[in-house]
Amino acid sequence: MRILVSGASIAGPALAYWLHRYGFEVTVVERSATLRKAGGHAVDLFRPAMDIVEMMKVLEPIKARATGIERLGFRLENRLDRRYEIEIRRLIGAVSDRHVEIMRDDLSEIFYEATVKTTEYRFGDSIASLSEDPAGVEVTFEQAPPERFDLVIGADGLHSHVRRLVFGEESGFATWIGGYLCVITLPNYSNLDDVSEAICGVNRMAGIYAVPDVADARAVFLFRPARELDYHYRDVARQKELLRKAFNGVGWEVPRLLSELDHTPAFYFDSITQLRMDTWSRGRVTLVGDAGYCPGPAVGGSTSLAIVGAYMLAGQLAVAGGDHTLAFAAYESEIGDYVRRSRAFAMGAVKHLIPAGQGDLRKLIVVSRAVKHLPLPLTRALTRLSNTGLRLHDSVKLTDYSKP
């Protein structure tokens, strides 16, 4: 059975690994000319994703390339002389029993290397059209000649092309959940190592972090305007102008970070958007990872969700012996609860991530003190009270599909 996967970042290669393990023949098409190795941003693997990467035998290389960021130092816009610190390790330890933070492109490369011998990767191409008949899917490509596949899976991210071809425009499913996110690459001019530094104000925060073995640093900007912004996603000049306006007058390192906008080799700017689809399968096509159910970049643990989704989709196809009608329904039903809880969590996280008022800023200071002073078991016990909240990832149960 031949399966075409679109996208070679996280969900695509993880899916290719498990599909191959269950005996399917996999081709992955990726729009970028090569595997992205610019580093990207830091992403999180929580317990279920950690269990899956262990089964994929890539846990050790992942741990070896963990970012190692232990502490977040921050100051408030109106009190620059006072620095607070949150011990991120302790905070995450309370949220998840098993966690690693790693740069997205490092993770992608590790998954690629684990699958390159058993998967056909085609870089620098994209699906152009899909037409389904009872026996399969006829696929045309932008570069390669047309081909037939039994199934097609979109793992091509939040702005998925496969989703647009099959379900229609993104605007029909995407909801702005109240924030904007920008990440740029810049020189690690202040020699940061295991500490990330930030400045927080009402409705905006900016920070900088570096990662061992990565020469440059990342600046992150998060802000919440009163209403949705008007810009075209390809209009980088306008996006930079909007960012400068949002951080106008902020002190600390922010003028220096903004000046890097003129030279940065990598600029990412997007709205914090949540996808809400009731179903992400149609006929012989389904979606996995951000393409199908992104709860919001940087707010909903979407990398773990993408890895768990890939594992469940491949597993359900194996259980159903390749019958996509049974498998896609079982996949959606199995991951549905995790998706819904991730969405709900992201709605709350976006509010807390970008302080909405002086009260939120005060809470941040309280958290920094509590994390330092509360014994870890107590912090854990508090966060464990609700599995719809912080412990949502660790509460996911994985099925062993290799057992009948």
Cβ closer to ligand FAD: 155 or 257?
A: 155
> Interface with ligand FAD includes 10 (CB under 6 A)?
yes
CB of 202 to ligand FAD, least distance (A): 22
Total residues binding ligand FAD (CB under 6 A)? 34
* Stretch touching ligand FAD by CB under 6 A, among 74-82, 202-210, 273-281, 286-294: 286-294
One of 4, 8, 166, 308 touching ligand FAD (CB under 6 A):
8
CA atoms within 13 A on the CB side of 208: 20
Q: How far is the CB of 104 from ligand FAD (least distance, A)?
A: 5
Residue reference for tokens 């309280």: 366
Q: Which of 165, 108, 166, 161 is nearest to 328 (CA)?
A: 166
Of residues 60 through 119, those in contact with ligand FAD by CB under 6 A are 104
Total number of residues shown for the chain? 404
Among 39, 157, 201, 315, binds ligand FAD (CB under 6 A): 157
User: Interface with ligand FAD by CB under 6 A: which range of 90-98, 256-264, 290-298, 359-367?
Assistant: 290-298
Instruction: List C-alpha distances in Å: 134 to 3, 111, 163, 246, 282.
Output: 15, 33, 20, 52, 13
194: which 2 tokens? 């295991």
Q: Binding to ligand FAD by residue 286, rule CB under 6 A?
A: no
The residue (of 63 and 362) whose beta carbon lies closer to ligand FAD is 63
Position of minimal CB gap to ligand FAD = 289
Token pair for residue 288? 């996995």
Return d(Cα 14, Cα 301) in angstroms, integer: 16
Binding ligand FAD (rule: CB under 6 A), the pick from 4, 12, 50, 332 is: 12
The reply to whether 339 sits near ligand FAD by the rule CB under 6 A is no
Q: Among residues 77, 290, 332, 394, which is the contact residue for ligand FAD, using CB under 6 A?
A: 290
List 179, 201, 289, 315, residue binding ligand FAD (CB under 6 A) = 289
Which of 5, 16, 19, 43 touches ligand FAD (CB under 6 A)? 43
Q: Is 73 helix (H, G, I), strand (E, B) or coil?
A: strand
Interaction residues for ligand FAD, span 164-203 (CB under 6 A): 181, 183
Q: Are 6 and 122 in contact (CB under 8 A)?
A: no
If the CB atoms of residues 129 and 358 are measured against ligand FAD, the closer one turns out to be 129
DSSP reduced 3-state for 148 = strand
DSSP state of 36: -
> Taking Cα atoms as reference points, which of 184, 278, 171 lies closest to residue 228?
171
Q: Taking the mean position of all CA atoms in its chain, how far away is CA 131?
A: 30
Contacts to ligand FAD from residues 237-276, by CB under 6 A = 268
- H or E element in which residue 17 lies: helix 11-21
- Quick one: which of 42, 219, 258, 392 contacts ligand FAD (CB under 6 A)? 42
Instruction: Please report which helix (H) or strand (E) contains residue 347, including its range.
Output: helix 324-353
Site string for ligand FAD, 301-320 (x = CB under 6 A): xxx--x--------------
Distance from C-alpha of 166 to C-alpha of 56, rounded to nearest angstrom: 31
Reference 299, options 386, 392, 167; nearest CA is 392
User: Which candidate, 191, 183, 260, places its Cα nearest to that of 218?
Assistant: 183
Closer by beta carbon to ligand FAD, 41 or else 363: 41
Q: Footprint of ligand FAD on this chain (CB under 6 A)?
A: 6-12, 29-32, 41-44, 104, 126, 155-158, 161, 181, 183, 268, 289-291, 297-298, 301-303, 306
